[in-house]
Structure 1
Amino acid sequence: MGFFSKKIDKKVASYQQELMETHYQEVDNMYRQIRGWRHDYRNHIQTMKAYAAAEDWDAIKRYLDLLDEDLMTVDTVLKTGNPMTDAILNSKISLAKSKNIQIVADAHIPLKLKSSEIDLCCIIGNLFDNAIEASVKLPEDQRLIRVYMDMKSTQLYISFTNFTASRKMKKEGKLFRSTKGQGHGFGLARINAIVERLDGYISCNSEDGAFTTEILLPQT
């Protein structure tokens, strides 16, 4: 095995290790969130039992109305129409929210896509990781990630926008310079390689403190 092949293998191994660590962090955060929901659910049941024991039916009705209003104002799960996309987006959204990053997401994906789930997972995962990494460097009130995904005719359109600490990032070739190191750079190159293999289109723009990545993937 040549020096170049060994170097690539090390990059792949480092990238895979990074994915595993990120995945563990996401699952751990979601587990903590579920435990919180269970705790709240038990408290709600106990409160309504107390009202029922006192036969205070008006109090139960008011409490149920409050719970209904609370559920209407908190949307914890993004439903795109595609199960795999739901899984990766919601795990990343959960991770971002644990870091006090505001998420504005609107995604509508067909159940069946030409693009493989592995390719799409890699693209979405890396885009979200990049946005989270940039966001945590900002004050909490400036942390915002916008995600938009939808079909445009026969192409899947993906757009990620986040604010950055620097006013304008430096572009080197087709990619923007990253502060995360070689492993992250390999991830960005991976996205470009996937988009190119799928005969897609990618555009990155850094302007006025906002970084936007747009991708089009043919689905015919």
Structure 2
Amino acid sequence: MDIILKWITYIVLSAAETWIGYRLFNTYLTRNSVRQTYYWLGVVCYFSFQMLSYVNESPMFSTAGYYFLFSAIIAIVFFSDSLQNKITIASLFVIMNYACKTAVTAVAIAWGEQILPTGLENYRIVMDSWSQMMACLLFVLSLWGTICIRKLRLNKQNLLYAAISYLFPVTVMISVSILSQKNVGVGPVNSIKIFYLYTSVLLFSASISLFYLLEKNILLDMSGEKSAVMEELLSLQRRHYERLDVSQREVQSLRHDIKNHMRCLYALLDGGHNSEAQYYIKELYYDNKALKGVNYSGNIVIDSILSNGLANIEQNGIDLKCSIIVPPVLNVADVDLCILFGNLIDNAVEACGRITALGERKFIVLNVNIKKDYLFIDIANSFTGEVKKQNNIYKTVKIDERYCGIGLFNIQTIVEKYNGEFSASHSENVFNVSVMLSLLPVK
């Protein structure tokens, strides 16, 4: 019976620590396009490694290097963030784990719950089942605390975020210190207890530092991405104004020659040369791009993105139907509009571009309007029929999965920011994306 209970404990502990790693990594990092099957294989391998360390009753710190190696490999292989953030989260996971284990060990020694073997070398203790369970529980609480603290920043509760960021780990360290003061004395046992107490304080301090480093790195990445989007948006607007200037010049030139064109058309029609007149009108239309126009809505941000993204679709044989009815100014940040429309248009154009079958129609239908206090965006496009879904969520099949340095994941972030909804669907050869954003002030 004792052996069965021990194995159950090992399985529970291994599963719990694997879940903690899964939760921590997926909270701070973004999954890449590696197949889900390989991802779960990596999770199973980590669980197996945890089981092996428990079954072998590995002493404290003896497997720390392997823990970090496994964590770093998982972060590097299965997530798309910067290498610095991947290494930081792997380090945070391992150090926080050992901070909890050393803290519980110090308390267990003070309360006489941890049996110390004779001839202890390098202070490496094999934790008993009770201590391991308590360390795992403390690890879960620490993870929960970091996630709650992060949510405060995301919700812009900066003062409470700063206070709890210090209060939470300090409370843990003070609690450990008070609990470990029981049975204070002298001798080897007390020395070992003090060693683990100070080690836990040092590791918790390192965890705090890594947590702040990770948060700052994420904020810097977000700031850099927004700067890149703004630079791209300014470039789009410059190109849009250049097209408007060319269009205005062509209109002026057309006005100058309009009498000559009308006289020529009148002569062709009067002489019964209808086909020649039609050909003349067609040539006049295609030679004067100003007649096609580059304005879509009157909103300079949307028009800049569309005029750039849809500039060459006719040359690529793509039919465009566009209906945009929005005011010149929207209660949506320019950066968010750039990310949103940039990704939607870029995806639609590239999906049409992958159609190579002769005679197959290429088209994009874009409808944008406002109903009450919501902005509705609906875009449908032809595509090859190839889709990639992961956890019932559509994934891009583009070679380059990022637009202005920001991936499709951030479209969903924007939708959540504006309390909206996002949906995607497809039929045999039509892909449709619908987005709804609230135009009420974001709290």
Structure having the larger proportion of residues in helix = 2
Alpha-carbon distance change, 216 to 121 in structure 1, aligned in 2, over 3 angstroms: same
Out of 409, 415, 423, which is 1:189 matched to?
Answer: 409
Over alpha carbons, which structure has the higher Rg?
2
5 Å-filtered alignment, 1:190-205, equals: 190-205=410-425
Aligned: 1:170 with 2:170 = no
Aligned partner letter, 1:214: S
Out of 427, 432, 437, which is 1:207 matched to?
Answer: 427
User: With CA pairs under 8 Å and 6+ residues apart, which has the higher RCO, 1 or 2?
Assistant: 1
Out of 72, 76, 95, which is 2:312 matched to?
Answer: 95
Alpha-carbon distance change, 199 to 101 in structure 1, aligned in 2, over 3 angstroms: same
Out of 342, 345, 355, which is 1:138 matched to?
Answer: 355
Alpha-carbon distance change, 149 to 62 in structure 1, aligned in 2, over 3 angstroms: farther
**For 1:179 and 1:83, how far apart are their aligned partners in 2?**
28
**For 2:394 and 2:383, how far apart are their aligned partners in 1?**
16
8 Å contact from structure 1 (residues 126, 188) kept in 2: yes
8 Å contact from structure 1 (residues 168, 206) kept in 2: no
> SS of the counterpart of 2:355?
coil
Alpha-carbon distance change, 129 to 60 in structure 1, aligned in 2, over 3 angstroms: closer
Out of 71, 77, 93, which is 2:294 matched to?
Answer: 77
5 Å-filtered alignment, 1:26-41, equals: 27=239, 34=246, 41=253
81-90 or 127-136: which moved more?
81-90
Query: What is the Cα deviation at residue 60 of structure 1?
Result: 7.9
CA RMSD of aligned residues (A): 4.3
Aligned partner letter, 2:361: Q
Alpha-carbon distance change, 81 to 177 in structure 1, aligned in 2, over 3 angstroms: closer
**For 1:182 and 1:88, how far apart are their aligned partners in 2?**
18
8 Å contact from structure 2 (residues 364, 381) kept in 1: yes
> SS of the counterpart of 1:77?
coil
- State the match for 1:2 in structure 2: 84
Aligned partner letter, 2:376: Y
Q: C-alpha deviations, 1:54-108, integer Å up to 9, x for none?
A: xxx9548669x976x958xx53233313222222222222132343322110101
Aligned partner letter, 2:411: I
Task: Note the residue ranges of structure 1 that are not aligned, 5 or more in a row.
Answer: 52-56
Query: What is the Cα deviation at residue 186 of structure 1?
Result: 4.8
Alpha-carbon distance change, 179 to 59 in structure 1, aligned in 2, over 3 angstroms: closer
Structure having the larger proportion of residues in strand = 1
**For 1:27 and 1:136, how far apart are their aligned partners in 2?**
23
Q: C-alpha deviations, 1:173-199, integer Å up to 9, x for none?
A: 333242324436952112111111111
**For 1:119 and 1:89, how far apart are their aligned partners in 2?**
15
> SS of the counterpart of 1:95?
coil
- State the match for 1:108 in structure 2: 325
Aligned partner letter, 1:107: I
Alpha-carbon distance change, 186 to 84 in structure 1, aligned in 2, over 3 angstroms: closer
> SS of the counterpart of 1:84?
helix
**For 1:96 and 1:170, how far apart are their aligned partners in 2?**
25
- State the match for 1:54 in structure 2: none
Alpha-carbon distance change, 46 to 195 in structure 1, aligned in 2, over 3 angstroms: closer
8 Å contact from structure 2 (residues 424, 431) kept in 1: yes
Aligned partner letter, 1:142: R
8 Å contact from structure 1 (residues 145, 161) kept in 2: yes
**For 1:114 and 1:154, how far apart are their aligned partners in 2?**
10
**For 2:370 and 2:312, how far apart are their aligned partners in 1?**
26
- State the match for 2:303 in structure 1: 86
Alpha-carbon distance change, 169 to 110 in structure 1, aligned in 2, over 3 angstroms: same
**For 1:204 and 1:58, how far apart are their aligned partners in 2?**
52
Alpha-carbon distance change, 178 to 91 in structure 1, aligned in 2, over 3 angstroms: same
**For 2:263 and 2:386, how far apart are their aligned partners in 1?**
58
Aligned residue pairs total 200
8 Å contact from structure 2 (residues 387, 394) kept in 1: no
**For 1:125 and 1:132, how far apart are their aligned partners in 2?**
11
**For 2:374 and 2:415, how far apart are their aligned partners in 1?**
12
8 Å contact from structure 1 (residues 175, 188) kept in 2: no
> SS of the counterpart of 1:129?
helix
TM-score normalised by L of structure 2: 0.37
Alpha-carbon distance change, 209 to 58 in structure 1, aligned in 2, over 3 angstroms: closer
- State the match for 2:334 in structure 1: 117
